[in-house]
């Protein structure tokens, strides 16, 4: 019990200061412990993918804020890791990036602006990086979403991806749980009495930087809404039975008796006479 007192209890008072987001709910879907680690661990540095997505967003939607948000690493001759950490500590309010990553992000942003479909959306966008806070009626949990772009008859999220080929991106989008994000974002819009189609603009991070524009199918969004509601119900339950969010994978598998069964994946079973 002594160890529990060192952890922060997750209750509505805490969540009102840090409402649930897409990123934090994704971590909770792994386990309560993953969620707790995510919200309490100070991030020394963005992952490269997250940094690149944020950088492209800035260059497209708020380029005037670039100098306020970002700082370039100088060229270190030695002790690069140590010097980079010291540089970050001297720029605590900025995201520190390599000049090469900035040049890459510029090319990606340019490809989005030059794509005829994406360009039409950006031109008609009336609101960017819109933060919406709302409360889930069923659980009372506070939620926050950030809509990349909204116009009079649409809303969209801008993504960067290794492969934006429409033939394969559907699977990637589901694996990354973008349906959950779309469902959450649509719930946020609906809380403002806004009912518009939701879209994804996907820009590749490698040459030739192709761009694909997707209109989210109603089934894609509905699946996300269902997953969102299930996660909120589980989160509210966790607040009651494990308010310090110490549970691991067993939380989502309550019938497991201390162990799991390691089985062959379904695609491998066809190789054997089983």
Please indicate, yes or no, whether the overall pTM of this predicted structure exceeds 0.85. Answer: yes
- Dist CA 157 CA 22 (whole Å): 13
Are the beta carbons of 91 and 84 closer than 8 angstroms? no
- Dist CA 143 CA 137 (whole Å): 11
**pLDDT tens figures, 118-151:** 999 999 999 999 999 999 999 999 999 999 999 9
pLDDT above 90 for 19? yes
pLDDT band with cut points at 50, 70 and 90 for residue 46:
low
What's the pLDDT at 41?
84
- Average pLDDT rounded to a whole number, residues 229-237: 98
Neighbours of 202 (CB within 10 A): 24
pLDDT band with cut points at 50, 70 and 90 for residue 2:
very low
User: What is the DSSP code string of 85-148?
Assistant: HHHHHH-TTSEEE-HHHHHHHHHHHHHHHHSHHHHHHHHH--EEEEEEEEE-TTT--EEEEEEE
pLDDT band with cut points at 50, 70 and 90 for residue 164:
very high
258: region left, alpha or beta (phi > 0 left; psi from -120 to 50 alpha): left
- Dist CA 211 CA 242 (whole Å): 44
pLDDT band with cut points at 50, 70 and 90 for residue 47:
confident
**pLDDT tens figures, 80-97:** 777 888 888 899 888 899
- Assigned token pair, 190: 């609906």
- Dist CA 154 CA 55 (whole Å): 23
- Assigned token pair, 139: 């659980």
What's the pLDDT at 84?
85
- Of residues 40 and 124, the one with the higher pLDDT is 124
What's the pLDDT at 5?
52
- Average pLDDT rounded to a whole number, residues 161-179: 93
Give the side-chain half-sphere CA count within 13 A for 217.
Answer: 6
Nearest one of 146, 187, 180, 141 to 10, comparing CA atoms: 141
**pLDDT tens figures, 184-229:** 999 999 999 999 999 999 999 999 999 999 999 999 999 999 999 9
Q: What angle do CA 75, 56, 152 make, to 5 degrees?
A: 160
- Assigned token pair, 183: 């469902």
CATH of domain 8-252: 3.90.320.10
Handedness of CA 10, 11, 14, 17 (dihedral sign): positive
Ranges 12-16, 48-52, 234-238: which has the least confidence: 48-52
Pairing verdict, β 95-97 and 127-135: unpaired
Q: What percent of the chain has pLDDT over 70?
A: 95
pLDDT above 70 for 1? no
What's the pLDDT at 130?
96
Q: Which residue do the tokens 């997953």 mark?
A: 227
């Amino acid at each position: 019990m002594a160890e529990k007192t060192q952890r922060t209890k997750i209750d509505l008072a805490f969540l009102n200061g840090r409402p649930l987001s897409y990123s934090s709910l994704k971590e909770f879907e792994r386990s309560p412990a993953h969620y707790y680690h995510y919200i309490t661990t100070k991030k020394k540095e963005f992952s490269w993918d997250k940094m690149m997505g944020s950088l492209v967003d800035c260059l497209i939607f708020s380029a005037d804020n670039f100098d306020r948000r970002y700082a370039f690493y100088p060229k270190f001759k030695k002790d690069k890791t140590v010097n980079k950490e010291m540089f970050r500590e001297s720029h605590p309010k900025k995201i520190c990036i390599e000049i090469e990553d900035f040049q890459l992000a510029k090319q990606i942003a340019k490809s989005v602006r030059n794509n005829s479909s994406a360009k039409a959306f950006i031109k008609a966008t009336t609101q960017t990086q819109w933060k919406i806070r709302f409360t889930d009626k069923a659980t009372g949990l506070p939620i926050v979403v950030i809509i990349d772009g909204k116009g009079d008859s649409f809303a969209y999220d801008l993504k960067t991806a290794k492969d934006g080929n429409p033939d394969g991106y559907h699977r990637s989008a589901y694996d990354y749980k973008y349906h959950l994000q779309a469902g959450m974002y649509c719930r946020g819009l609906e809380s403002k009495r806004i009912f518009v189609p939701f879209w994804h603009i996907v820009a590749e991070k490698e040459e030739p930087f192709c761009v694909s524009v997707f209109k989210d199918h109603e089934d894609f969004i509905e699946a996300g809404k269902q997953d969102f509601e299930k996660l909120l119900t589980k989160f509210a339950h966790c607040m009651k039975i494990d308010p310090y969010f110490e549970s691991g994978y067993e939380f989502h598998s309550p019938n497991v008796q201390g162990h799991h069964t390691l089985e062959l994946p379904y695609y491998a079973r066809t190789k054997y006479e089983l």
